[in-house]
Chains A and B, each alone.
Chain A
Amino acid sequence: DIVLTQSPALAVSLGQRATISCRASQSVSTSSYNLMHWYQQKPGQQPKLLIYDASNLASSIPARFSGSGSGTDFTLTINPVQADDIATYYCQQSRELPLTFGSGTKLEIK
């Protein structure tokens, strides 16, 4: 199985940039696609898709969210961070089955 590693938590000041990383145990990229996706989960709610294929913004997601990366290293950036962004962020790979998720990064405000 492909293991996705995320840092447990990140503290950022409001209005600053947050950079959340996800490292895969093997490449999740093909010649055409980077098969990494990002979700936001607020307390007591279901996850919401933010980014698909590493860098594509999902429908209705604000442009302050962006994604990048290829191969084994991927990044979700939130700039600027707003109070409403307090949540846990998960990455998920679809390069091969079983589909796997990272353990999540909890975004906190300094």
Chain B
Amino acid sequence: EVQLVESGGGLVQPGASLKLSCVASGFTFSDYWMSWVRQTPGKTMEWIGNIKYDGSYTDYAPSLKNRFTISRDNAKSTLYLQMSNVRSEDTATYYCTRKGITTDWYFDFWGPGTMVTVSS
């Protein structure tokens, strides 16, 4: 059974940094592109970025590119999201997702999410 479990969320002050993790199981993690998607309290869904199966390539939403970094450790089957200089508008639930098996970009599995609240 495919499982994705995020962690690392919580209350963080504006301007701080935070690193989210996602542990994957039930599939060969190193075979799959992975992504982060967030959902605001108002339920708006926003794609953050993707990372290639071997970690050699990443894409980001232009509005987040300068502050967010996606990485992975295939030996640990773990995906990461490094967030820096966080702002109130970064308050959201952050989902770890797996790219579908075809060439198209859709997300066939989602973790339960980890909530990040940015507030002083």
Contacts and interface: CB of A to CB of B under 8 A. Distances in A.
To the question of whether A and B form a pair in one complex, the answer is: yes
Interface of A: 33, 35, 37, 39, 45-49, 52-53, 58-59, 88, 90, 92, 94, 97-101, 103-104
A28 B114 CA distance: 31
28 contacts: A33-B104, A37-B106, A37-B107, A45-B112, A46-B110, A46-B112, A46-B113, A47-B45, A47-B110, A48-B110, A49-B100, A49-B106, A49-B109, A52-B102, A52-B104, A52-B106, A52-B108, A53-B104, A59-B108, A92-B45, A92-B106, A92-B107, A98-B47, A98-B61, A98-B62, A101-B46, A103-B44, A104-B43
Contact of A49 (B45, B108, B111): B108
Q: Which 4 pairs of residues, A with B, have the shortest CB-CB distance?
A: A94-B105, A101-B45, A37-B106, A99-B47
A97 B59 contact: yes
**Interface core residue of A46, A58, A104 (most chain B CB under 10 Å):** A46
B95 interface: yes
A70 B96 CA distance: 29
Interface residues of B, number: 21
Nearest to B98: A49
Nearest to A93: B105
Nearest to A36: B106
A59 B104 CA distance: 16
Contact of A99 (B95, B105, B108, B111): B105
